[in-house]
Amino acid sequence: PIVVETYSIGSAPKITVSAQIENNGIIQISTQTAGIVNKVNVKEGQSIQRAQTLISLSTNYQGANASSVQRQLASIQSQTAQITYLAQKDIITKQREIAEKTDANSDEIKDITQKSISDTKELVSLNDSILSTLSANLAALEANNIGGANDTLILQTTQLQSQFLSITNQTKSFLRTSELQEDENKPPMQLSNLQKDTVIKQLDLQEKTLKLNVEASGLQVKLAQINESLMFPASPFAGTIEKVHVRLGQQVAPGVPLVTISSKGKSQTAVAYVPQNIAAGISKLNPSYLVVENKKYEVIPSYISQVAVNGQLYAVIFALPQEIGTTLPDKSFIDVEIPVGYSYTSSTVPFVPL
C-alpha cells in the first residue's frame, strides 16, 4: 500500500514544506578576538544582567592584557591633550593679539609719517628758497669781485650753499622714503598687510589643528575602549546561562563559542522558504498546520516576505503557538502544511498538488 493525501474539490489544496525553527532570545556568545581564557565569571543556570561580563580574556598566560595597556596609554594622551589645550589656545590668542597690535602700530606710524611729510615738504620748500637766494647772492658777488675784494664772501657763501644743499638732499631723501612707507599701493604697506594676514591664517590653522588633536585623542580612547571590551565579552540582555563552552586557560580564536544565553522573554518562530508563485498564492482565508511530533497545530502566517530573502526563495514566517512551548532546538526543522490557492466549488478548474 502507498500512503497518499487526498483533498476535496471545494477546499484549498495544501503543500507540505520544511520550516526552520528560529529561537528568538537564545544566542551564543563567540570570541571576537584571539586570547586566553583568564577568568570564567558565570556558570550554567546562573541568572545574569544585561552588560554583565561573562568571560575575561588575556594576552598571555600571566594575565596581562595588551588592549588594556593601549587603552590606558590612549587615556593618558587624551588627558594630556585636554590639559595643554587651554594653555596652547591662550598662547594662540596672545599671538593673534600681537599680530593685531603690530598692524595697529604700523597704522599709527603711517599717520605719523603722513604728518611728517607735510612738515618735511615745507622744510624742503624753505631750503630751496634759501638756496635760490644764496645762488643769487653768489652770482652778484662774483660779478662785482673787482680785484678779489669779494673772495672771502664768495667762499663763505659757497660753503653755506653747500651746507644747505646737503641738508636739502637729505631732507628730500627722507621725504621720498616717508612717501614710500605710507603709500598703501607700495610694497612696504603691502608687506605689512600680507604679514598680518599670513600670521592670522597660520594661527587659525594652529587652533583648528589643536582642536582636531583633542578630538582625535578622544576618538583614540573610544577605539581603545572598544578593543579592550573585546577581551571581556558581556551579555547583550538579561537571561540565564545555558552552557559555558570554554574552560580556564584555554586559548581561543575569533568565532569560538564561549557561552549560550537564553533570555527571559524568549520565543520561537518557524520560517518556511518557498518560490515566488507559492508565496503569492498562499491562502489568506485557510489556516496552515505545523506538524510537531505527529500533532498538528493550526497557525496563520504572521508575515510573508515581499522580496526574495534566501536566493530566489521567499520567507513565510509562523509564530509558534504557546502550547508547543520553546522546547524545539534552534535551527531544527518541522513540517508545515500551507494552503495554496482558493476554495473552488466547481471541479472544472481544480488545483492539483503533485
Burial of 57 (0-12, 13-18, 19+ CB in 10 A): buried
Query: What pLDDT was estimated at residue 198?
Result: 83
Mean pLDDT of the chain: 82
Confidence of residue 116 (pLDDT cuts 50, 70, 90): confident
Question: Does residue 252 carry a pLDDT above 90?
Answer: yes
Query: What pLDDT was estimated at residue 89?
Result: 85
Mean pLDDT value across residues 301-317: 92
Answer with the residue of higher pLDDT: 210 or 141: 210
Confidence of residue 347 (pLDDT cuts 50, 70, 90): very low
Q: What is the pLDDT of residues 156-210, one digit of tens each?
A: 778 877 887 787 777 777 767 766 666 666 666 667 667 778 888 888 888 888 8
Of 13, 58, 54, 69, whose CA–CA distance to 260 is shortest? Answer: 54
Burial of 130 (0-12, 13-18, 19+ CB in 10 A): middle
> How much of the chain exceeds pLDDT 70, in percent?
84
Q: pTM for the full model? A: 0.56
- Cα(first)–Cα(last) distance of the chain, in Å? 18
Half-sphere CA count of 267, side-chain side, radius 13 A: 8
